[in-house]
Chains A and B, each alone.
Chain A
């Protein structure tokens, strides 16, 4: 278990709305993205990640208005992902006030972009998003375009490659578990955290407090991003943080 685990709210966005799907499909509108983000900040979330889940389909990013709202109302780090294709896009999102950007499709299609971005803005602001689909025991394949297209790339090979290219953090989502509320994929999280020195944020399928605490305790994951159970009010941010605090105190 790492020293200072982070609890992150994951907000999938379409236009001005917070949405959520199941295994990246069947997106349903939940409410106003701004209101949900503000609520989670007030409840003590450590970080927020916005994912414009249709952006890479249409090649655009509509999050700048939401990011601007966030710099005014949300004083914890904000990461933005979805549809970012170039250094120019990156700078636009950072100028709007994001602290980190997350890319997946563009990084897979143009590996050089990782180094270009990292050299320009520093690896601390560059998160590589990985959408992993289980293929076999201990084998996951990286997908692109919001979990829609297979790439043939082995997740662990990809993890090692992006670390060398200058990524600062990995945002790992299990496609199989995403939105299911059946539990995070511990095998995947363990394999990825053991393969890299980069901080890893795990996401996809968080079930309940016990599930989250177990993944923190049994792996070196740096953060867990929760979506579905949070939006559906099945979990309380303060309660998870209190429980985590107790575990850390016991250890030190």
Chain B
């Protein structure tokens, strides 16, 4: 096994690599696209703004290798902004094309309709995730339903295909997708590396593929 975590100049790579190291010794933080080739598992982290992240991935020429990894049927995990990058496009700051591995767009979280401050943007904190009924038992991740995870984000992924919308949370009366999955590709809006024991459960599933 060889888990590669892409380091393209954004995000807290250290915490991510350390949670993986609890399960697997062969963890590589990769700075060069060619280093992805040998990996069995690929992780795309990310913190910050969508356009800047895409610019960095493009500049470092990571995109062809990421797509090749996926085409070979090997698992890919996008975390937080890394999940959003998997989608077709985002309208954060300006409309920007994403990796288009999962169809859909990244849009701003729905604002409060009333003066209540029950939900704040950015959405920071823990949420219990709920499985999308049509996808019950279809995924190795299905049994994470009702588990709590840690979020920090202002935008979220709106999937075109409901079959890719695996888990959601309720935010200002809307259900927003927080785990998207398409075959070997999975994205989590939350940070498994900051979500205690539930984060460990998710990472273990990703690594063991069961």
Binding site for B on A (CB under 8 A): 1-6, 41, 44, 46, 71-72, 75-77, 94-97, 99, 121-125, 168-169, 193, 197-199, 220, 222-223
Select A77's contact among B19, B48, B117, B150, beta carbons within 8 Å. B150
Question: Nearest chain A CB to B114's CB is how many angstroms away?
Answer: 13
Report the bound CA distance from A220 to B112 in whole Å: 14
Verify A124–B122 contact, CB threshold 8 A: yes
B47 contacts which chain A residues (CB < 8 A)? 122, 124-125
In the A-B complex, list the 9 residue pairs whose CB atoms are closest, starting with the nearest. Answer: A220-B117, A97-B14, A4-B125, A71-B15, A3-B118, A124-B152, A77-B194, A71-B14, A6-B125
A4 in contact with B200 given A75-B15, A76-B194, A124-B152 (CB within 8 Å) = no
B119 contacts which chain A residues (CB < 8 A)? 2-3
Question: Nearest chain A CB to B116's CB is how many angstroms away?
Answer: 8
Report the bound CA distance from A41 to B150 in whole Å: 14
- Could you tell me how many residues of chain B have their Cβ less than 8 Å away from some Cβ of chain A? 27
Report the bound CA distance from A3 to B150 in whole Å: 14
Q: In this assembly, does B38 line the interface, its C-beta being within 8 Å of a C-beta of chain A? A: no
Select B118's contact among A1, A99, A169, A199, beta carbons within 8 Å. A1
Q: In this assembly, does B126 line the interface, its C-beta being within 8 Å of a C-beta of chain A? A: yes
B191 contacts which chain A residues (CB < 8 A)? 77
Question: Nearest chain A CB to B9's CB is how many angstroms away?
Answer: 12
Task: Kindly identify, within residues 33 to 68 of chain B, every residue whose CB is under 8 Å from any CB belonging to chain A.
Answer: 47-49
Verify A97–B117 contact, CB threshold 8 A: no
B101 contacts which chain A residues (CB < 8 A)? none
A193 in contact with B200 given A72-B18, A97-B14, A169-B124 (CB within 8 Å) = no
Sampled A-B contacts (15; CB under 8 Å): A1-B118, A3-B118, A5-B125, A6-B125, A46-B126, A71-B15, A75-B193, A76-B196, A96-B14, A97-B14, A97-B15, A121-B48, A122-B47, A124-B153, A198-B120
Report the bound CA distance from A226 to B207 in whole Å: 36
Q: Say what secondary structure dominates the interface of chain A.
A: loop
B124 contacts which chain A residues (CB < 8 A)? 124, 168-169, 199, 222
Chain B residue at minimum C-beta to C-beta distance from A251: B118
Q: CB-CB contacts of B11-28 with A at 8 A, as 1s and 0s?
A: 010110011000000000
Verify A41–B120 contact, CB threshold 8 A: no
A169 contacts which chain B residues (CB < 8 A)? 124
Q: In this assembly, does B104 line the interface, its C-beta being within 8 Å of a C-beta of chain A? A: no
Verify A222–B194 contact, CB threshold 8 A: no
Q: In this assembly, does B78 line the interface, its C-beta being within 8 Å of a C-beta of chain A? A: no
A193 contacts which chain B residues (CB < 8 A)? 117
Q: In this assembly, does B195 line the interface, its C-beta being within 8 Å of a C-beta of chain A? A: yes
Verify B200–A123 contact, CB threshold 8 A: no
Chain B residue at minimum C-beta to C-beta distance from A124: B152
Verify A122–B48 contact, CB threshold 8 A: yes
Verify B18–A76 contact, CB threshold 8 A: no
Report the bound CA distance from A97 to B153 in whole Å: 19
Chain B residue at minimum C-beta to C-beta distance from A122: B48
